[in-house]
Structure 1
């Protein structure tokens, strides 16, 4: 390379010197370049102004219509708001106002989704989702719930909506969110409608949908049944092992419909499995594919779960309980949660709240957190609350027990941006809406349904969905009830209203008690219908009874003898429990690991609780690695490089681990080589907890049929053949993806946390995606690991679900508690709080969680005073 001489001021490259030195023939091009450069500068400045314009005022004073008195909003250096007022109504108004300040576009998109109106914003791309949601009727159900709610809940929802609308009334659309400016440039003429209480209620339906239970497993079993025997399907769905993975509640039973933690109970069930053929399978596969195209609101699939645990004072270094929670949900930018606090300056009959924690934008109150007396956390209980029914439909009737019954019919019109309105005809049986009406492909479920089909069905069978969330419930009452609860009895009274989604709820209070309650609306099925596979709707014997497990009969425990409670989506209770909850539990690896660590620690501090949340030990690795190390014929030192990494591996998966990178590449290739030839693509292994159990069993049968590659002729592969090939393929893959030198591999290079804006972040326009998305962070952990950063082995190593937040509450000193959010409180990409917690989250750091007034004031960076409209300064 020729060395370039040093430059002098006269040689500096600038637009001025370009004009002076350029040949005459290029001078015009230089002028054009200068003009374009100037234009780009102007556009950049303008763009920055538009991006920054919606960032809200968080200091000073503003008027808020409807307030009864002055409200303070004190924000810390991460923009987390703590709201102080003298009435509950003012707290709710201010919470709505602040939520709109930070996240209104997110709220607006969610209400369009839950009302089946996404097409109004995004055109035909939203139409399929709108059809499904209109067919299920989320918004209709939310509106019906209004009359069921307590007066205090309706008042809170109304005041919250008033606060949102007071914010909207002050601003033009471009001042609310930069997303509206960008959509306006695409031709959208739009002004947000006023917020309504039903908008908040409908969001609870979305939460229930993404935590709905085993519907995907119902379809997957049908798909597997086309090619495999019942015995083979059982191998793919191993029974839960309560000896290896203890249930949440270890003792107790139901006596006269009341659960008693020192009693016992039992029941029997005799399920039968209908037979399905290719046409029925095809239709159910189409149904699954259509539902999977719906927006991920909380996330879906393996990895949707959570950890929570609580220890009593004897197991705490503080002498008082400690409670930890980290829900595992789908990833997005901004994240699902907002941190907030709602504080009455003085507790009175008109002002009852002193609570802080995590909430959803658009929903009043705090969903998970603590008040001045108790703390609580959630994990998904996951009961079977959805059933698919094949229906015999004839004209305007459906057939059951040989008799025609009238379909419920309704028609809705979906407005489509830049397109014609779509008229949707919705039909329902007694089981629920016909999802098969949503698309032409689903309009037939083939004449090849179960073997006891009622005659030939030239026009096929319809598919109905029965789901507990499609009936009005009082879950909104539960949220505010938890916020106000002061002891175990009040906590359980609030939990009794928590209908959908059913959750595991852990509890602690300042009197030293710890507890667990399983709330939720769980159907009681007639004998023979386990809900494991779609049922024949033409037989009333397959119906739900119409009753639900009574709340008092659901498992609960107060102050268990062992001094701690762990919930991580494992079985709630053993098979002696007289009611059916589900057979599709998480396999229990996370819960068992947490229990082991709690027992090892003995006495835990807040710091030790946070470190436990960050544990990356892979529970499958100790089982699989010895088999991998026993493989001797890998062919060359090149292929043995990866194997050697496993020899002294401690089975943990931090982001910088080379051994973890190799192990997970082997795991992915092992699943591909073992199962892709045997299973249809829609049910290829995702690599989560169920597959840990499946492969653990298969490893003990080295010549078992699953190891054989059905696509190779005249060769029968064994376990060691597959393991050997998986190791070679993993080595080649990592060489291609990362480095020839195995020591340079890292798990985080493969396992990337990419946070995408749910709408414009997927626009396909690179500058817009860069504005809204926050990509490229390598993380540790993995599926069924306590640090549950899930990935799908059928798709790649990228994170698909993660701890959406983490919190540890100290009942001895609330100000000593810690929490962290996946992203930040703001939904504005121009705000410094759009993603200012992500780096901390990835690094395993936490924020101080100020709760008392003195601590909040000390941590405060900005204070916004909201005053009643027209009030004197």
Structure 2
């Protein structure tokens, strides 16, 4: 409400007061009419549209194409368990049921993977479509479907598509979801038929977000414009093998047989392979810098599929053998860390054959993606498996020397292969683009930015680079641009019954490369690293872009499956994967130069070892509690030092005292956690922010977020810019566990130039580590005063660290009323960056939650019905459906739901039953 502008009681208003009073009443009237209009609008949606698109979950429906009846049982959270008599019927029903709950999400996803978002959302998506067409995910998926996948996989994909299309038959957009009805106000778009390639293409989008170190490759090259080799080495320290264990502790590579063997031990310490010897950054000068700086803008706009556009991706998964569990059988936990989306990227369900036989082979439950048949992560009657991103380097950028209509390679000009793409635009004219690729299939990414091309042409280079021709471009080599067999792997994993079958299935999971952990009902545990992982020449380790005109920088092949690390029934009795190094540095191949630094993995290892020491045993709930661990490892390192800093200002000293006696736990109600994370953010800003090349600044580093004191999602005009007073031309670290390691190492050099920062206003300069820490304590105090108020008793980490769930299309770029209808939040969260409970935040952009444990599960191999699971949101993609976000509150509180598997348990938990009849 506006402030009261009329006179107070007892005062006689003058002429001016009467005018103000009338103006105030007019504002109130307008607001009242707006509220009434909003209520009417909401009533229209709820009555005419919203409920009309809700799925039928009871009774029966006739589906053409089924060979027999299929039963769909949903529990109280709307999670479906499907029962059928044939594989084809099972996957057809899966397609139908997922379309009931999530077709709009599926439709947006397939338009993204095909570079056709403009068909739905208009000209604002043309640039994204141009880039996605250049990558050509759908073209690769079609080739994969036509030439690589098995006949049975194709049959399942066809059955799934038939189910989706059976759902769509006879429906208008408004019958499918609220979003289509909203789009109908400005767009005559109508959803088309689903195809098997639509499902396969999603694997390419997933692989893009989990692509590994491409961002680090760009960053390192850009750093050479301002930093020397030692400074860059400071910012990319060696992996701490002696402190944070690699995944595989028992086993070694056998040079004689060229296989990885389960014998001996490779647990020693060593140093990283470093940042390599590729000479691209020294041989291309400003040409490379200008091309990569422009590529930042292109990459930052590409829609995310499951992650934060290649950054901030993590996950936890671990397995504990029966010798250390209360039940005597293994326990397996998994929580992939992905971007927070609404609906959640995951879809929970069970796929059950009424009788498992050659005619119907599946009895599996877990998490999949809406739009894909099968189960990606979960368990069947015999085994369970989890996944974390391996982080292996499967992408390389090449600077290409352009000459006429071709590119230079080994002293000769080779022609590009080209294709023309037509982008249709809702409400506008179509646009044609030409995609150029090298002979080995590398698309020229720089063609998608006109300014990039011109800058590249004008850029000067030093004498080490070719001096003829027209300019430079950036090309991408990526394993996912070759057709593969990952879809075959999904179905093979779903029906594997033992370690041997699991390993064979995993070998087909070529892109994206994942860490797979395993457990079975016969009391075995294991780990395997599958994936199509390139072998590079000795001239290149993939750490920085390479010169494309020199053949010695090209890939020489792929690591054979038998050579990849694995572990089975290790003596330790447990296996932990959390994006740390897979194996020690004695392994002969460079898997990547950019592992996660092991902060989370070592904390999980420590939690397991503390639990099992002196004969202790681990329960299902113990595994859940480990997933919720909020301990800050960087706080343990820094707080003792911060408490020794002398402060004159009593207000800053008051804040510093919050850290006294703090247990380093980042609970949502902790004032100490709020202050420490503000100090940490300011340490990073002061030490590195004014020293990094400005080209490293990306739009994601300054975020428009809801004001701290708001109670829910709000309009853009009530948002604040979460990069504070930072110079717009100043890059800033994101604060991940690489920066933990950077600061840890620099603390041994308290007089390093990194600790120097100039004075700012009344804030003092710093020349040493202690002086910079003092400045950070001061700056953090006044930053939080501005955000949370002067009274530190009102501070809490959760007020800063909040999760907003936003519908990924109209909830982020639609009318305000639709944002209000579609979006949910906020939730005040515990946890933090590089914490086991990894509610990640980007220190360059504020404290808001950016990525999350997108689901959590704990599988009990002794009694599968005692397993537990939770999703970030809910089963439904329909706003106002009871299952839109019905799991989020429990997820935020760290709770898990019962996970029924057996016929008996599913029967007891069933709330709604639907029969699909042929």
| Interval of TM-score (by shorter of Structure 1 and Structure 2) | over 0.9
What residue is the counterpart of 1:609 in the other structure? 623
Q: C-alpha distance in 2, partners of 1:493/1:555?
A: 14
The equivalent of 2:673 in structure 1 is 660
Superposed counterparts of 1:352-367, under 5 Å: 352-367=361-376
Of 330, 339, 354, the residue aligned with 1:330 is 339
Matched with 2:19 is: none
Equivalent residue for 1:152?
A: 152
**Is residue 2:249 matched to residue 1:250?**
yes
- The aligned residue for residue 226 of structure 2 is 227
The CA distance in 2 between the partners of 1:441 and 1:631, in whole Å, is 49
Residue 715 of structure 1: how far off its partner (Å):
6.4
- 2:278 touches 2:544 (CA, 8 Å); kept in 1? no
**2:638 counterpart (624, 627, 651):** 624
Task: Quote the Cα distance in structure 2 between the aligned partners of 1:338 and 1:628.
Answer: 44
Question: Equivalent residue for 2:736?
Answer: 688
Greater mean alpha carbon deviation, residues 428-437 or residues 96-105: 428-437
* Secondary structure, aligned partner of 2:122: helix
Q: 1:640 to 1:715 in 2, by over 3 A?
A: closer
* Greater shift in the superposed pair: 194-203 or 743-752: 743-752
> How far off is 1:454 after superposition?
1.0
Distance in 1 between the 2:175 and 2:502 partners?
A: 41
- Residue 52 of structure 1, CA deviation: 2.0
Task: Kindly indicate whether the alpha-carbon contact (under 8 Å) linking 1:213 and 1:384 is maintained by their aligned counterparts in 2.
Answer: yes
Counterpart position of 1:288: 296
Candidates 40, 45, 48, aligned match of 2:46: 48
CA RMSD of aligned residues (A): 2.4
Matches within 5 A, 1:392-407: 392-407=401-416
Aligned mates of 1:863, 1:194 — CA distance in 2: 27
Counterpart-to-counterpart distance in 2, 1:498 and 1:531:
22
Partner of 2:558: 548
Query: Offset of 1:118 from its aligned partner?
Result: 0.6
**Partner Cα distance (2:240, 2:39) in 1:** 64
The match for 1:789 is 839
For 1:30 and 1:140, how far apart are their aligned partners in 2? 56
Q: Counterparts of 1:403-802 in structure 2 under 5 Å?
A: 403-431=412-440, 432-443=442-453, 444-445=455-456, 447-449=459-461, 452-456=464-468, 459-545=470-556, 547-602=557-612, 603-632=617-646, 634-681=647-694, 682=696, 683-709=731-757, 717-802=767-852
Residues 440-479 of structure 1: CA distance to partner in whole angstroms, max 9, x if unpaired? 022143533565101155x321110000000000000000
Which runs of structure 2 are paired with 1:163-202 in the superposition (5 Å)? 163-186=163-186, 188-202=187-201
Shift of 1:741: 2.0
Over residues 234-253 of structure 1, what are the superposed CA-to-partner deviations in whole Å (9 max), with x where a residue is unaligned? 00000101110110001322
| Residues 251/452 of structure 1: CA separation in 2 closer, same or farther (3 Å cut) | farther
Could you give the per-residue CA deviations for residues 164-192 of structure 1, whole angstroms, max 9, x where no partner exists? 00000042221101100000012x11221
Contact kept in structure 1, 2:643 and 2:656, CA below 8 Å: yes
- 1:261 shift after superposition: 2.0
Mapped partners of 2:900, 2:887: distance in 1: 16
- C-alpha separation in 1, matches of 2:161 and 2:83: 18
Maintained 8 Å contact 1:434/1:462:
yes
User: Deviation of residue 44 (structure 1)?
Assistant: 3.4
Deviation at 1:765, TM superposition (A): 2.2
Q: Deviations over 1:554-581 (max 9, x none)?
A: 1011100000000000000011111110
Are residues 201 and 281 of structure 1, via their aligned partners in 2, closer, same or farther at CA, if it must alter by over 3 Å?
A: same
Q: Which deviates more, 484-493 or 284-293?
A: 284-293
Q: Following TM superposition, by how much is the alpha carbon of 1:34 offset from its aligned partner in structure 2, in angstroms?
A: 11
Q: 1:196 to 1:637 in 2, by over 3 A?
A: same
- 1:70 equivalent in alignment to 2:120: no
State whether structure 2 residue 326 is matched by structure 1 residue 317. yes
2:352 aligns with 343
Residues 82 and 340 of structure 1 are in contact (CA less than 8 Å); yes or no, is this contact kept in structure 2?
Answer: yes
Tell me what 2:710 maps to: none
- In structure 2, the partner of 1:8 is none
Distance (Å, rounded) in 2 between the aligned partners of 1:350 and 1:764: 47
State the distance in 1 between where 2:92 and 2:917 align: 12
Once the 2 structures are TM-superposed, how far is the Cα of residue 263 of structure 1 from its aligned partner?
5.2
Q: 1:442 to 1:510 in 2, by over 3 A?
A: same
CA distance in 2, matches of 1:39, 1:302: 42
Partner Cα distance (1:393, 1:259) in 2: 42
| Cα drift, residue 154 of structure 1 | 0.5
Residue 398 of structure 1 deviates from its aligned partner by: 1.2
TM-score (norm 2): 0.89
User: Which deviates more from structure 2 when the two are superposed, residues 769-778 or residues 566-575?
Assistant: 769-778
1:262 aligned onto 2:263:
yes
Q: Which moved more, 1:706-715 or 1:491-500?
A: 706-715
Rounded to whole Å, the distance in 1 between the matches of 2:31 and 2:339 is 45
Given the superposition, is the C-alpha separation of residues 352 and 449 from structure 1 closer, same or farther in structure 2, using an over 3 Å criterion?
A: farther
Q: Distance in 1 between matches of 2:777 and 2:30?
A: 57
Q: Is the 8 A contact 1:519 1:551 kept in 2?
A: yes
Deviation at 1:515, TM superposition (A): 0.2
Moved more, 109-118 or 636-645: 636-645
SS in 2 for 1:217: helix
Alpha-carbon distance, 1:43 to partner: 3.6
Q: What CA distance in whole angstroms lies between the structure 2 residues aligned with 1:560 and 1:808? A: 20
Instruction: Determine if the alignment matches structure 1 residue 81 to structure 2 residue 89.
Output: no
Counterpart-to-counterpart distance in 2, 1:29 and 1:503: 58
2:878 to 815, 824, 828: 828
Which digits, 9 at most, give the CA deviation of each residue in 1:33-87, with x for residues without a partner? 9999887655432221212221111111111121111111100110000000111
> Is 2:368–2:376's contact at 8 Å kept on the other side of the alignment?
yes
**Could you report, residue by residue, the CA deviation over 1:486-505 in whole angstroms, capped at 9, with x for unpaired residues?**
00000001001001000000
Residue 862 (1) aligns with residue 863 (2): no
1:264 shift after superposition: 7.5
SS of the counterpart of 1:620?
helix
Q: Structure 1 residues 556, 35: closer, same or farther in 2, change over 3 A?
A: closer
Distance (Å, rounded) in 2 between the aligned partners of 1:471 and 1:399: 23
Whole-Å separation in 2 of the counterparts to 1:715 and 1:68:
77
Q: Which residue of 1 aligns with 2:101?
A: 102
Contact 1:312/1:513 (<8 A) preserved: yes
CA distance in 2, matches of 1:159, 1:467: 30
Instruction: Give 3-state SS (helix, strand or coil) of 1:861's partner.
Output: strand
**C-alpha distance in 2, partners of 1:441/1:202?**
30
d(CA) in 1 for partners of 2:286, 2:901 = 59
Cα distance in 2 for partners of 1:29, 1:504 equals: 59
Aligned residues: 842
**1:498–1:32 CA distance, 2 compared to 1 (3 A):** closer
Go from structure 1 to structure 2 and tell me whether the alpha carbon gap of 1:765 and 1:35 turns closer, same or farther (over 3 Å shift). closer
Kept in 2, the 8 Å contact 1:264–1:576? The answer is no
**Which one is further off, 92-101 or 416-425?**
416-425
SS in 1 for 2:184: helix
2-structure distance, mates of 1:450, 1:335? 49
State the 1:155 CA deviation: 0.6
